[in-house]
Structure 1
Amino acid sequence: MSWLTEFPQLSRRDLLTIRKTLDEAYREFSRNYGEAIENFFDPLLSFLVWFEDLLIATPWWLMIGIILGITYFAARSIKLTIGVGISLLLIGIFGMWEDTMQTLSIITVCTLLSIVLGVPIGIAMAKSNRIQSVITPILDVMQTMPAFVYLIPVVMLLGIGKIPGLIAVVIYAIPPVIRLTNLGIRLVDKEVLEAADAYGVTPWQRLWNVQLPLAMPNIMAGINQTIMMALAMVVIASMIGVKGLGQPVLQSITNQYFTQGVLNGAAIVVLAIIFDRVSQSYAKRSQRHMGGQND
């Protein structure tokens, strides 16, 4: 009666056979298609390298001025703009400017990719219950899978470097913008849509001029969460060669450099706060404008 007390399971030999078969199949796929996939991502790699070099080569005072200009334009807040300026000055004073610019470049590119890929997928989910039923379980897996697991297939396929890290970050960070785009469009008042249809608008006009503007607060919340998750993935992505603030943090863990880890971790927090406050302020200001209120 041991089968009543012990969980039935495959033999060790069967498990080993299954694992070997799957591993060999993925290795064979990597050998056959790895180079073609690398070539496909070459333009993205070139853009990422160019953008990173541009940020690093830009004089620090000009870069801070640009960031402060974007901050004030998005938030219309003097206090927030001053706080961002002081934070960036402290990052430079403590010698973390170049690492911060490298992190800023990959987070910016990852966020743009997540928006370009995620918003259309969210729109498709909002338009079709069937598509939603297919994509939702995939998003559930993507959000619950341990972050380290994303590195394994990407490294086996593309090796180490910027592109594997970027792909891992995008996979980890994209679910929120997909989910909240879908949610935002589905929450648009049906009476508003009926009124738009009564004016004879096309489906594209209804989407572009009615649904997306009304769903923008939810979409911006999704973008905000995507940025936070991308920043959280920076340290893990540094394990496969992504330069930036993550590498000093990883070195501090390996070599027990307490101060280095705290300072670079604080710089990541500063970037997260800047992105968070600016995106939230922009979303709130946009919502007020839609409601007919002034700043």
Structure 2
Amino acid sequence: MIDFFIPLEDWINIGFERVSYFLSPFLRAASGFLGTLIDGFETLLLWPPEIVIMTVVALLVWWLANYRLAIFAFVGLLLTAGLDIWAPTMSTVALALSGTAVSLLVGIPLGIFASQSKVVERILRPIMDFMQTLPSFVYLIPAVMFFGMGKVSALVAIMIFAMPPAVRLTTLGIREVSGEMVEAARAFGSGRWQTLKDVQLPLALPTIMAGVNQCIMMALAMTVIASMIGGGGLGNVVLRSMQTLNIGMGAVGGLGIVILAILLDRLTESISKKMKKD
């Protein structure tokens, strides 16, 4: 019997090939930019001696948060150096921060536009729902299809995975600003965008920072999964431990991820609390 129907997966493959062909100039430019971004972060973190990075990070955390978290940051980074996972740890930080930066660069403006337009919000809501319910491994497929194996495709997967909280919480924070505050600003002659800049965004900053926190945590979690497509870093340590059944290696890699997760979570939480007090 002759099959007149092309399987769905073949249609999808054809569609991806056509889109990749037409977008190839943009994809090459985006790949070059994202690759430069990751390499720049890695060079910045790996070029100085370890003790310099530890000291700078501890001082920065002390300034942004408190001395207790600064001590934890210094001891935690010292532990990663002692466990001989300094380079993978810095590679993970570079990939996670690059993914977070790109996610926020796209997500926060989208959240602002969604807060100002119900039409934009209605368009973005199902897209964000779809992105948040999609299994995390599925994000790897379009990234590899468009950018191939490597850190750039890992960064794209991280960006898509981590962006929804930034969009949603930015929109929520701006919409939660008291209507009386907005009306008072407009009564004094402020325009729509001036009210947004001078009133709504400052008052929404704590909620936006909660979105930044979630974005960082999701980016860090995705770096482990992205090791399957060449993301490297601590995720690669965990992946190799699973492939070789090396429990000790997996524990060491997991410990490095936990240290980074606690440090970044507490740091963004402290910054958010300071904003609420101000």
Equivalence for 1:232: 221
Q: Which has the larger radius of gyration?
A: 1
Deviation per residue, 1:87-142 (Å, 9 max, x gap): 11111101011111111111111111111111110011111111111101000110
**2:182–2:199 Cα contact (<8 Å) kept:** yes
Separation of aligned partners in 2, 1:18 and 1:61: 55
The TM-score, its normalising length taken from structure 2, stands at: 0.95
The residue correspondences of 1:41-190 to structure 2 (distance < 5 A) are 41-75=31-65, 77-190=66-179
Pick closer, same or farther for the CA change 1:149–1:185 going to 2, 3 Å. Answer: same
User: Which consecutive residues of structure 2, in runs of 5 or more, have no partner in the other structure?
Assistant: none
Query: What TM-score, normalized to structure 1?
Result: 0.90
After TM superposition, list the pairs within 5 Å mapping 1:270-281 onto structure 2. Answer: 270-281=259-270
Which is worse superposed, 44-53 or 264-273? 44-53
2:111 and 2:169 in contact (8 A); partners too: yes
More off after superposition, 40-49 vs 137-146: 40-49
Q: Between Structure 1 and Structure 2, how many residues are aligned?
A: 277
1:39-62 deviation line (CA, Å, top 9, x unaligned): 333123123212212211111111
Structure 2 partner of 1:200: 189
Residues of 2 paired with 1:29 and 1:116: CA distance?
24
> CA separation of 1:45/1:195 partners in 2, compared to 1, >3 Å: closer, same or farther?
same
Contact 2:206/2:273, CA 8 A, preserved across alignment: yes
Question: Any idea what the Cα deviations from partners look like across 1:243-264, whole Å, max 9, x if unmatched?
Answer: 2100010011111010110111
Q: Shift of the alpha carbon at 1:32?
A: 4.5
Given residue 152 of structure 2, which amino acid in structure 1 is its aligned partner?
Answer: I
Shift of 1:174: 0.6
Q: Identity of aligned pairs, percent?
A: 39
SS in 2 for 1:174: helix
Match of 1:241 among 207, 230, 248: 230
Give the Å deviation of 1:35: 5.2
Q: Is residue 34–residue 158 contact of structure 1 (8 Å, CA) maintained in 2? A: no
Question: 2: distance between equivalents of 1:172 and 1:14?
Answer: 37
Match in the other structure for 2:250: 261
